[in-house]
Structure formats: C-alpha cells, structure tokens
Chain A
Amino acid sequence: MSGTEDPGLYAYRPWPERAPLRWPDGKSCAVWVAPNLEYYEIDPPAHPLRKSWARPHPDVVGYAHRDYANRVGHWRMADAMGDFGFPGSVSLSVALCQHHPEVVADAAARGWEFFSHGIYNTRYAYGMDPDQERAIIRDSIETVRAATGQTIRGWLAPALTHTVNTMDLIAEAGLAYTCDLYHDDQPTWVATRNGPLVAIPYSLEVNDHYGFFVYNMSPRDYADTLVRQFRQLADEGAGAGTVMCIPLHSYLIGQPHRIGPFRAALREIAADGRAWITTASAIVDRFQEQLRP
C-alpha cells in the first residue's frame, strides 16, 4: 500500500464533514495525557541514518538531562496529573522495565495504561527488516506484560522512527492504535495489510518538547498553549468529538520552573467541564464502537 508519494495510510476527510462522534456524558473533547517514560543509552551503537547524541559519548548534558526524568521529574509530573484527575497513557521505552523498574511500578500503581515506545529511545527503526521490527514489537509486548501484567494496545515508534512496514507489523501483532500519525484532531482508521488500526491524535505540536525546544516557550506560555489548544478543540467538538493529547517528558515538564504553570493548566482544563479526561484505549474503544473503517 505504501508509495513514495502518498504512504496510503488513510482517506481524506474534510474537517466540516465529519460523521457524528460522541464522547461520554456529552463531553466535546477527549483529553489524554501521554507521559513518555524513556531510557536513553549512554553509549548506544551507531545507526547509519541518525546520530543518538549531538556530542561524543558520553553526552553528559544530553544523557543527564534525560536521566533527570527517572530520578526527579517523574513524580512531580505524575503527582500533578493525579491531583487533577488525569490518568497517564504511557509511551514506554520498554527497557525501562529492566533499568528502573521502580518508575514503571509507580506508573502501574497509579493505574496508568502502557503502550510501547520501542526498546530504547536511542535505537531507531529505520532500516530494520520486517523480522527485526517484529522482534522489537514482540519484545515490547512480552516485556510490558512481564513487568505490569498489561497487554499493550498501542505503539509510538522509538524516537518516532518508522519503516514502511511499521503499521502492517503492529496490526499483525494485534495492536489497536498508533500514535505516529499527525494528520488530524480526531481518531482515524488506518489501512494496513493486516486489517485496520486506529490512529489516535498525539498532538505533537503541543508536546512539551515542541513547546520548550522547538518553539522556545516559557513555562507559562506553554501552559497557556495547552489551555488554548483545549478550548479550541472543545468549541469544535460538540457534534464530532475531538481529541487533545498532552505528550510529556518529565525531564522537561517536571523541571522546577515548569511544574507550577503545568499544574495551573491541568486545573483549568479539568474545571472547564467539556473535557472527557481519559486514556488512549478508552478513546480508541469509543471511536471503534461508533465509526467503522
């Protein structure tokens, strides 16, 4: 299905002509939070198409900054989410289950959902043959099951690295949703060789990495961005429900100058009354019940 011009993943649908899609209790915008719980290797093998680190290994600032998540930032972020009723749907570098099982156990104890973000965020899928990619998918399923008892239903490719087979292979493995496609503010069906997948909006443009390291926002500007994103989508979602994801990295949002403004944004979104605050799986299930491929 995949071509070199159009990857052939989904059909075009004009925004004003969407079929009715209802979220529970008359809510207009489904809001899900995707904490990326990651492990970056200090000395990963070289990949021919992408460097892991800007600096020769060890890239002390790059590595230590990300390590901050697993020592400090995670609990700040998780407590903020918990205080305002936002569950996590975790994008997990599954090797974190080996390196820092305490962090994974904390997320599991909070009742969060897990999906795979690859083995490490320093291992890229570009150039993998189908059997290699099957191996990281199988590893992901087995590792998360052993660590948490959960069977993952979703995929966010490691460091957003794909092959033209990725969608076919995650469908083949029985996964239900992908977070890798950024073409819409509603879930959409994705055609694969192995049956349909759901693309759930991951709202990459309001990812904290984009906010802080692409757009160089101050913490308060980022918090304001989240509220504005939500209000627009809530305004538009009365008939055909919209989705907002808040994709996070606790080495960014869990920094001391950012957590206060972030808490204020969550408080405001929760207090608005139009948010269905939920998990990725719940959104995918509601979508699948109402709209056929």
Chain B
Amino acid sequence: MNLDLGYLAYPRRQAGYDHDLYAWRNLHAAQRVAWPGGARLAVWFCIVSEFFPLAPADTPFRAPGHMQTAFPDYRHYTARDYGNRVGIWRLLDALEARGLRGSVAMNVAVAERYPALLAAMLAGGHEIVAHSTDMNGAIDSSLSAEAEEAVIAETAARWAALGQRPLGWLSIARSQSFRTLDLLQAHGFAWCADWVNDDAPYPFANGLISLPLNHELSDRQIINTTQATADSYARQILDAADCLAAEGGRVLALQLTPYIMGLPYRMAAFEALLDALMARGDCWVAPGDALLGAWTG
C-alpha cells in the first residue's frame, strides 16, 4: 500500500485553528469572569432528561444509553424511563432542598409525555435546555442539511407549542455537523454546550455562545464509563472544585443523568457532595442563562 502525495499536503496549516468556528485563546490569559457576589466558582447542575423510543432509529447513529438488545428491549426502555419517573425527582428534590436552581436538558418529547415533570421543573425555577426531539433525534454531518435543520426546527416548534422558548441547546452525544452552529443561531438559540474545550464561556464566530459542560466530569463518564463509585465521583468533583476555585472565574459543570445518579444507592453520596460544595462558601450555583448573563456582564 502506498499513500498518495496529497496525504502530505496540509492546506490549513496556518495560524489559529484549521477551521473558522471560533477563535483560539489561552483561558489563563483571558479576563476572569466576575461571578455575582465575588464567588470564586460558578457551579452549573445540568440534568439530562431523555426519552428513548423503543425502536432506535439509528439515523445517523444510536445515542449513548439507547436500546441494546433485540427488539423489544424492555430492559433498557424501562431502566431509562426510571430516570424520568423516579430519578429526576430525587435530583430536583436534592437541589431544591438546598435552594439551588439548575438546568434540565430535556428532549421535548419528555415535556410532552410527562407534563407533571415539566410543571415541577418550571415551578422549581429550573431552566429548560433544548435537547433535541427524543433520543432518536441525533445529528451529525452524515445527515442532509434539510434533515438536520428539520430536527432543530421541530425541537424549537414543539417547545413553542408548550409555551416555552429555551435559549440553550445540548446536542445528543454533543454531536454536531459543520452546519449546526449556524442552524442553532438561525432558530433562535443563544448558546450551546456541546464543545468541551474550555472551563468558561466563549463566543463562536457567528455570535452563538459556548457554555462549558465538561463531559469528563459527567456522571455518565465517571460512573458508567470508568466504573467509579458515587463516592469516587464526589471526590473527583470536589478535587475539580479546588482547582477551578483557585483559578477563579471558572464553571464547574455537573452533567447529571437521572437513571445514573438518581439511583437510590447513589443519592446519599450525591447529597453529601452538594453539602460539601455549599460548605465551601465560594460557589455560586446558577443555570445556563444566568451564567451567560454574568459572563456578558
């Protein structure tokens, strides 16, 4: 096998990135974001609320957490539904018992199917983040431009029919195409949380804002992928808080999955983590829209 000569050509070997989506910066040389009340650290709880249709569409790919056995996969359908019936209520209760507000990145199908959950979320003062239609609503560059735009437009329209207008977007599996940032902006979104390259907000070239939702600190990564205990998860989050608070102007983002963190045997560790974070005395807990507001000043 020989490689053709083009393999040693580097057409975008240039100053800055090999794309035009956003500009480079050194976070440590950038101006520190001033969080309200002089807080050293902004803490963002972002619960994901997902509806997995019993038949996976696989267009363009099967979302993490989706069905795994031959049809009908009652095992995973119901285990995921546990998150919406039970787990998320525990997580919301844990936040609200401490007077904390977070975000819920919700498939619009969840809000339509379970109005009581939507109502409770809104009553608790939590923020809705658009998270596509349902877990068959993944996007990537193998979708046609029309199909991708349809997913984003349909998500916005179905939220509007519920009287809601989320400003934030989280893609399924954080997967985007090269078109996504422009489509999100065209459909009225102000920010997305898919790009895991920073610990503070920054602007994309088209004016959309990136909010940092570190996938490495998600319960899915730490507990499901690395098979850590909830106690280890809590330890890791507190170590992260030490680092980020020492630097100042950073976001500690906790992406929480109700069918993972909301299991009975994990809740005590999670609640102890909340208490330990609050006991620091230097944390400002805020949903995405408030982070954005503080960042824009």
Binding site for B on A (CB under 8 A): 39, 41-43, 45, 47-49, 55-58, 60-61, 64-65, 67-68, 70-72, 75-76, 95, 98-103, 119-120, 123, 126-129, 132, 135-136, 212, 216-220, 255-261
Q: On chain B, which size bracket covers the interface? A: 35 or more
Known contacts A56-B60, A216-B225; is-contact A68 B13 (Cβ 8 Å): no
Segment 108-160 of B: residues with Cβ below 8 Å from A:
140-142
B235 touches A220 (CB 8 A): yes
A60 touches B174 (CB 8 A): yes
A129 touches B2 (CB 8 A): yes
Q: 9 new A-B pairs (CB below 8 Å) besides A45-B6, A61-B173?
A: A49-B1, A60-B176, A72-B198, A75-B26, A120-B10, A129-B2, A132-B7, A256-B199, A260-B242
B19 touches A71 (CB 8 A): no
In the complex, chain A residues whose CB is within 8 Å of the CB of B3:
47-48, 127-129, 132
In the complex, chain B residues whose CB is within 8 Å of the CB of A135:
8
Contact with A along B222-262 (1 / 0, CB 8 A): 00011110001001110111111000001010000000000
A218 touches B232 (CB 8 A): yes
B243 touches A257 (CB 8 A): yes
B243 touches A259 (CB 8 A): yes
Q: In chain B, what residue has the closest Cβ to A72?
A: B27
Cα A257 to Cα B242 in complex, Å, equals: 8
* B17 at interface by CB-CB < 8 Å: yes
B235 touches A218 (CB 8 A): yes
Binding site for A on B (CB under 8 A): 1-3, 6-8, 10, 12-19, 24-28, 60-61, 140-142, 171, 173-178, 194-199, 214-217, 225-228, 232, 235-237, 239-244, 250, 252
Q: In chain A, what residue has the closest Cβ to B171?
A: A60
In the complex, chain B residues whose CB is within 8 Å of the CB of A64:
194-197
25 contacts between A and B (CB under 8 A): A42-B19, A43-B19, A56-B177, A57-B178, A58-B141, A61-B174, A64-B195, A65-B196, A65-B215, A68-B196, A70-B24, A71-B24, A72-B198, A99-B16, A99-B18, A119-B13, A120-B10, A123-B8, A129-B3, A132-B7, A218-B226, A218-B235, A256-B214, A256-B239, A257-B237
Cα A135 to Cα B214 in complex, Å, equals: 38
Could you tell me the distance in whole angstroms from the C-beta of B286 to the nearest C-beta in chain A?
18
Known contacts A56-B142, A128-B3; is-contact A257 B236 (Cβ 8 Å): yes
In the complex, chain B residues whose CB is within 8 Å of the CB of A259:
243
A47 touches B10 (CB 8 A): no
Cα A50 to Cα B1 in complex, Å, equals: 13
10 residue pairs, one from A and one from B, having the closest CB atoms: A256-B240, A257-B240, A216-B226, A67-B197, A64-B197, A256-B243, A257-B236, A64-B195, A127-B1, A72-B27
